[in-house]
Structure 1
Amino acid sequence: MKSSILLVVAFMAFAPQAQAQAAKLSTFDEVRTQYKNYRDPTRLSYLYNRCAALQLNVSALLQRKGQNQGAKDFENLAQHFMVLSEANEREIDKKRGLKSKDTMKTVQRNVANVSEVYSKRLKDNYAKRGEFIVGDAQLEAELAECNLPEVFKKKALAE
């Protein structure tokens, strides 16, 4: 009995730390550096997925505020990044000699995972400052970059 109580207490003590780390994201520049240093094409997909996830979170916020057209615009941008990610994943499979199967489902699953991290961060921001994005320099910078998909793509692919 005592060991199970200690286990629960230990879990509760470390849970906030684990949650705080879950809401931490590497900067886009850090991921781009990894991509350039290791030529790891999955890092490129990850960048696209991050933008898609962020765009979807902003879309949801706008939808809740009744700004339907803005929400739709952000949703369309998210879809564009998901298509870029899917194309990249297909290229990875092709280079590996694999036949691509359900690539978009994989992309959607990856975007959903990153979206949860963004959602947690947005909620934390709101709880701390009363704003979801404003005041979070990293999210502000990422949103600005993700709003220009072709510029973002060129920057990600730059040597």
Structure 2
Amino acid sequence: MIAQYIPYAMAAVLILALCIDIRTARMPNWLTLLPVVLFIVQIATSGDPSAYGWQLAQGAIVFVLGIGLFAVGGMGAGAVKLLAGTALLIPTSNGWIAVVGFLGAVFVLFPIIIWTRKAIGSEDSKWAILARQILPMSLPIAAAGLLGMFYA
């Protein structure tokens, strides 16, 4: 019964992560730990815990790929942890939809952010996205997670 509400809790985590990341350009550790906690709750409350083995493998693969991106400076450590935790909660059958959502956000929404920063951004803005040359990785992670969890 509880397991069916986990995607909604994860959606709230992703939206909160996006808001914090846009404002501060940081991803708190407590926030990146929540997807793992939700995955453990999902396993503990489901009728068949062995059904989540592929999702665990999916999360591990995403974590290893994310560490590679972190090593070359393509992604921050908080984003890697949030991405891997999000991958734990996406059904394996929707994995490709999540990948398309992630790439779509990177190639469609990031240019919009860059254009907006050029148009209205300033160094004294209270919003990190407008004050500094950063791209919030929580945006494509949230797009991937929401599409992956709720795409029917």
> Where on the TM-score scale, by shorter chain, does this alignment land: which range?
0.3 to 0.5
TM-score, structure 2 as length reference: 0.33
* Larger RCO, structure (CA 8 Å, separation 6 or more): 2
